[in-house]
Chain A
Amino acid sequence: EPEVTQTPSHQVTQMGQEVILRCVPISNHLYFYWYRQILGQKVEFLVSFYNNEISEKSEIFDDQFSVERPDGSNFTLKIRSTKLEDSAMYFCASKRVPAENIQYFGAGTRLSVL
């Protein structure tokens, strides 16, 4: 069964460093998302991406964050200068077409900022 793949599963970084979280969405999917879950809190929407551009972003997704689809398979989330409060699980999700409602999630990347 096709699945969303995220790497690495755990990323440890120093405060102020740049990190790139990687996702390979399901191959025929066209709509991509990033969510995050801080320990003990809700899963929160960060950004959606369609047709090579951001379709919506949340207040959390400030100038320190960026997304990119550098090739036909990868979808990345970059945090330019990490803060302690960026420590969270980051989930990538995808869906086939805009009209579809079900999103399929990866296993997540645990980001620990020290």
Chain B
Amino acid sequence: DQQVKQNSPSLSVQEGRISILNCDYTNSMFDYFLWYKKYPAEGPTFLISISSIKDKNEDGRFTVFLNKSAKHLSLHIVPSQPGDSAVYFCAAIPHEVSGKLIFGQGTTLQVKP
């Protein structure tokens, strides 16, 4: 099942620079997209989301962009901080009653001081 794909297993950036995490999906019926952050020994923590009717959502240092024609979304973190080092999961919600999340494989972000 490859409906949501994060093709970069890892990303390393310098503190203060921009981090860009990418996510591709195959199902055009996805209604809603979310980014979760996960630290070791913790569960995924909600970060930011976007509805399929929008192309951008911003919350502080975090911005998510959605390109529906390309079935692609990205998470921008500006400026990156060492505390942002974590695994980032992209997730999608299909248009179904249960609201289940379909996750990508995750990208491990390391922000170097």
Interface centre among A6, A33, A101, A106 (most CB of B within 10 A): A101
Contact A45 B43 (CB under 8 A): no
Secondary structure dominating the interface of A: strand
How many residues of A sit at the interface, in one of the four size bands?
Answer: 20 to 34
B59 / chain A contacts, CB cutoff of 8 Å: none
Closest to A48 in B: B98
What chain A residues lie within 8 Å of B45 (beta carbons)? 105
| A101-B32, A101-B49, A102-B34 known; A4+B106 contact, CB < 8 A | no
Report the Cα distance A103→B93, complex, angstroms. Answer: 11
Instruction: Say whether chain B's binding surface is mostly helix, strand, loop, or mixed.
Output: loop
The contact string, 1 if C-beta is below 8 Å from chain B, for chain A 74-114, is 00000000000000000101010010111111111000000
CA distance A43 to B103 in the complex (A): 6
Residues on B with beta carbons closer than 8 Å to the beta carbon of A6: 43
Tell whether A44 is near chain B: CB-to-CB under 8 Å: yes
Shortest C-beta distance, A57 to chain B (Å), equals: 9
Using CB atoms and an 8 Å cutoff, list the residues of chain A in contact with chain B. 4, 6, 31, 33, 35, 41-45, 48, 50, 55-56, 58, 91, 93, 95, 98, 100-108
List 3 A-B pairs, minimum CB-CB distance, nearest first. Answer: A105-B43, A56-B98, A48-B98
